[in-house]
């Protein structure tokens, strides 16, 4: 499986690139004429935040438990962000990926703002801060999904270019 970020060849069953850690595209082993499946938008992380806020509002979680959740989740997301920033994009492909990266990083920034708002809630205990945080995370989630759509379009272009050069 070819990584669209760094161009490295990976094992067919690999989910992430062994060289740069980028998620690898999934290919159908059906006829080339079959339409490509539409990837479902990512909502899992958003749902996790919504559930955490609900637990806090219902009293199922204490402020400390919510704080621990935010701290752990922020650390995971920061690590993912670092990994994305470290991906080396071949110079000849950089122009194709500029929009994807711009939109993706805007989504990451919105997630970070949402988390900051939720941390502010811990100090002020103003419910509006939770709603603002969730709203920011929802917007960030949409941007990240848009970046994934752009990535699929870029992958399709790369596949066409690779296929054309072989012919």
User: Is residue 2 scored above 80 in pLDDT?
Assistant: no
> Predicted confidence band at 29 (pLDDT cuts at 50, 70, 90)?
very low
Which is more confident, 39 or 160?
160
Distance of CA 57 to the CA centre of its chain: 27
Q: Which two tokens stand for residue 28?
A: 């159908």
CB 60 within 8 A of CB 111: no
Amino acid 64: pLDDT: 96
pLDDT band, very low/low/confident/very high, at 166 (cuts 50, 70, 90): very low
Cβ burial of 32 (10 Å; 0-12, 13-18, 19+) is exposed
Question: Which tokens go with 19?
Answer: 């060289």
| pLDDT tens digits, one per residue of 59-79 | 999 999 999 999 999 998 899
Domain ranges for the chain, please list them: 44-166
Which residues have C-beta within 8 Å of that of residue 47, sequence separation ≥ 6? Answer: none
Per-residue pLDDT of 84-119, as tens digits, reads 888 777 777 677 778 888 898 999 999 999 999 999
Predicted pLDDT at 100: 84
pLDDT of residue 139: 95
Average pLDDT (32-54) is 71
């Amino acid at each position: 499986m070819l990584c669209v970020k760094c161009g490295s060849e990976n094992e067919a069953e690999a989910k992430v690139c062994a060289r740069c850690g980028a998620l690898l595209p999934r290919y159908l082993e059906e006829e080339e004429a079959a339409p490509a499946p539409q990837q479902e938008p990512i909502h899992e992380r958003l749902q996790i935040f919504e559930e955490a806020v609900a637990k806090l509002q219902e009293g199922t979680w204490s402020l400390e438990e919510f704080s621990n959740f935010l701290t752990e989740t922020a650390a995971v997301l920061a690590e993912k962000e670092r990994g994305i920033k470290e991906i080396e994009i071949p110079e000849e492909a950089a122009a194709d990926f500029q929009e994807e990266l711009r939109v993706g990083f805007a989504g990451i920034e919105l997630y970070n703002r949402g988390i900051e708002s939720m941390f502010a809630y811990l100090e002020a205990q103003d419910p509006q801060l939770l709603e603002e945080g969730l709203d920011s995370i929802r917007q960030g989630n949409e941007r990240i999904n848009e970046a994934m759509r752009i990535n699929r379009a870029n992958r399709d272009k790369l596949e066409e270019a690779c296929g054309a050069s072989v012919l």
